[in-house]
Amino acid sequence: MKPKVILTGIVLLVLYLVGQKLAWDSQRFDYVTNYMYEYTSPKMRSVLAAGHDALLADLTMVRGIQFYGMNYPLFNKQPRMYDQFYQLAETTIGMDPRHFEAYRFWGFALTSADMGKVDAYRFLMAGANRLSATDEVFTIIQPNMWEVAKDAAYIAEYELQKATSEWGCDAYAFAMKARDCPEFVHRLKVLACLDVDPDPVPALEELSVRANQSGNVAIWQLNLDHIRRIISEEHKRFWGAAQTAYIDINGASPTSIEQLTRNVGILRKAVQEYQTVSSQWGAGGPARLFPNMVNPLPEEKGMLEYRIAQIPELPEDPYGGEYLILEIEGKPQLVGTGIAEIEREVMINPLNSALEESKKDNNGECPTDLEAFSQEYGAPLPIADGFGYPLLMDYEKCEFYFEPISEENPPLLPPYGQEEAEAQTEIDLTPMDEPSESTTADPLILETTPESDG
Amino acid sequence: MLEIITIGFNTFREAIRSKVLYLILFFMVLMIISSLFLETLALDGGDRLIKNLGLSTISFFGLLVAMFIGVSLIPQEVESKTIYTIVSQGVLRWQFVLGKFLGLIMTVYVNIALMTVMLLGILAYYAATTEMIEFTAFYWMVLAIGMELLEMLIVVAIAILFSSFSTPILSAVMTGCVYIIGHMTNDFWDYIRLQGEKEGTEAYCAFLKVIYYLCPHLDMLNLKKQAVHYEVLGMASASFPFFEGTFHAVTYTAAILFLACLAFSKRDF
């Protein structure tokens, strides 16, 4: 081979490699821009795709995923990167407006940028609108559309911190248009819409109707929990007004519930205050009082009903207990005992079941070493209940119990969970027949053994 | 009728010996297999990428077969002078054209059948390994491919029409253009509608409408997007103009073949 030919070959090879390198470098940094502006608009690309636009949309999404993986940490520092990424989203859904996966991906990915949270919400809501559009080809709202709208609501509620409270409510309400929208979205919608309009009546109405119609125990129970919570909040609002009125008159906080309920002047002020607030809800409807449950302790799947209280009715604990003012950690606090009783049951039932097991394993004998019992049966012993009443044990009956909640017998300990870690180090689980110094001095004792009484 | 079938089978035998066909087939297989690798890049959209890539491959490579093999079928016979032997044996020109159409459509359909088996196999494998695909997906895929068969009827007929009076290269280009235009008819209709809203455009719109009605409505036979979206809708909620599409494909093909026979009968060798 002639040297001239070899030389020409080498020169051509070098030029080729240089060209490739330049092309690679420019693509590496700008390939998305090139790609985006290759055609004039997503619509034009859709037309030029000649029926293959769904495939092009998929490939653009793959490109978007790669772009996100490479560049998302730069979105805040380089807004151009973010713009390019957003353009890829527009291109994808321009070619396939029903690209469910694209909406979900970009809905999540856009929130990586500070400036992208609002865009993500709008992108998802536009997607939910497109997925719910019907025509002669798509005769129904796309059943999985709710997931896109729910993502939008999530962004409004958590990423945007409810900056525009209507957004979350609107998005959940939109999700409910889809056939496959699950029940939990309905509950989320009720709660989100309470931020927009604090009027509890529409929320209670929706929750109770859906619970009564569903026939599903889990849905019924969850809706009942929400109804109780909403009513409880309204009662707090009323009692709060009553306490304020009491302080205005007496210059001190009330120490018993009777100080509020037996004083007509205070109740009148509380009623007026609640009615003033309620008249501002919704479209400025009539002033009214708080809601009460018709039956606070319904049977499983029983009818859930509420009614608006009329003067002189007082708030009735929606958990089936009563309202009291307890001195918890030295401060008088208005509490409902119903929820505390429920929590006590939740605490004690597994412990007493474990005790039963222990008795079976030990020829009917009640355990004396509670620390060993706790470890052996995997039943951690709480120190106190939610108000601070200590956990006690009746050795005669061989069961755990709490003392009754009453204003005359206020709790002595910090509420359960507040100072648990600290208290764990102090607890002495030795039974009373082997008293130690700490058990007599410390209120965190498990007591009332028959031996100690004798 | 026997003449048409004989020419059809001979054309088919000739076509499957073509190296171009095997090259196209190779790339079809490559494209469909590549969907298995691409789906891993698509997060939750993997299944729809496999479906879309498979359907587009079948449609696009069907067009390539029609373009690169179909357009040379008639000119080749004329160039090699074998047409004289055929015509002199009492085969009518229209029978020759229809025979060529039959042979080419058989070639395209065999290709599509192979690709369908492969695509459904890949989907079945994906369904078995990920449990992301439901049975209805297969139903809609088969229907979409069925619509592609009808689309190919029109495309092959157009390729035969152009090859009956033009050169192979020009015929290939024009077939490709008609394929693209056929998929733009919905957008073209939108354009006509927008023009119609302006004043003084009646004559222009009437002219556009004539062109619109002359175009093949391949958009009507494009079930690719719906095949993916309908999966979540449920059978009862899905609505696609199957009857209208089939009727359009059959009648349009018949009209194009009539024109092809007419053009070929006027042609001097």
- With CB atoms and an 8 Å threshold, state whether B233 touches A142: yes
CB neighbour list of residue B133: distance below 8 Å, 6 or more residues apart: B47, B123, B126, B127
Per-residue pLDDT tens, chain A, 454 aa: give them: 688 899 999 999 999 999 888 877 766 555 555 555 444 577 777 777 888 888 888 888 888 888 888 877 878 888 888 888 888 888 888 888 888 889 999 999 988 888 888 999 999 999 999 988 888 778 888 888 999 999 999 999 888 888 788 888 999 999 998 888 888 888 888 888 888 888 888 889 889 988 888 888 888 999 999 999 999 999 999 999 999 999 999 888 898 999 998 888 999 999 999 988 888 887 666 788 889 998 888 888 888 899 998 888 899 999 999 999 988 888 889 999 998 999 999 999 999 999 999 989 888 888 888 888 888 988 888 888 888 899 998 888 889 999 999 988 888 888 876 655 454 444 444 444 443 333 333 333 444 433 333 2
d(Cα B186, Cα B217) in Å, to the nearest integer?
8
ipTM of the modeled complex = 0.85
Which sign, positive or negative, has the C-alpha torsion B247, B252, B255, B260? negative
Residue at B10 is within a domain: yes
User: CB B186: neighbour CB atoms within 10 A?
Assistant: 15
Residues in chain A with CB shorter than 8 Å from the CB of B224 are: 51-52, 54-55
- With CB atoms and an 8 Å threshold, state whether A47 touches B60: no
Residues in chain A with CB shorter than 8 Å from the CB of B56 are: 52, 54-55
**Most B CBs within 10 Å, among A43, A58, A96, to test the B interface:** A58
CB neighbour list of residue A352: distance below 8 Å, 6 or more residues apart: A399, A400
Decide if B43 contacts A101 (C-beta within 8 A): yes
- With CB atoms and an 8 Å threshold, state whether A62 touches B38: yes
**What residues make up the domain containing B242?**
2-183+222-266
Decide if B48 contacts B41 (C-beta within 8 A): no
d(Cα A269, Cα A283) in Å, to the nearest integer?
24
Residue at B11 is within a domain: yes
Closest CA to B38 of A345, A55, A261: A55
Decide if A325 contacts A333 (C-beta within 8 A): yes
**Most A CBs within 10 Å, among B225, B226, B231, to test the A interface:** B225
Residue at B84 is within a domain: yes
Residue at B96 is within a domain: yes
Residue at B135 is within a domain: yes
Residues of A with CB under 8 A from a CB of B: 47-55, 58, 61-62, 65-66, 96, 98-102, 104-105, 136-140, 142-144
Residue at B214 is within a domain: no
Distance from A181 to chain B by nearest Cα, in Å? 13
d(Cα B217, Cα B185) in Å, to the nearest integer?
6
Residue at B137 is within a domain: yes
Q: How many structural domains comprise chain B?
A: 1
Decide if B50 contacts B123 (C-beta within 8 A): yes
What are the residues facing A445 on neighbouring strands? Answer: A428
Residue at B213 is within a domain: no
> Domain A39-196 maps to which CATH number in 3.30.420, 3.40.50, 3.30.980, 1.25.40?
1.25.40
Q: Closest residue of B to A59, CA-based?
A: B49
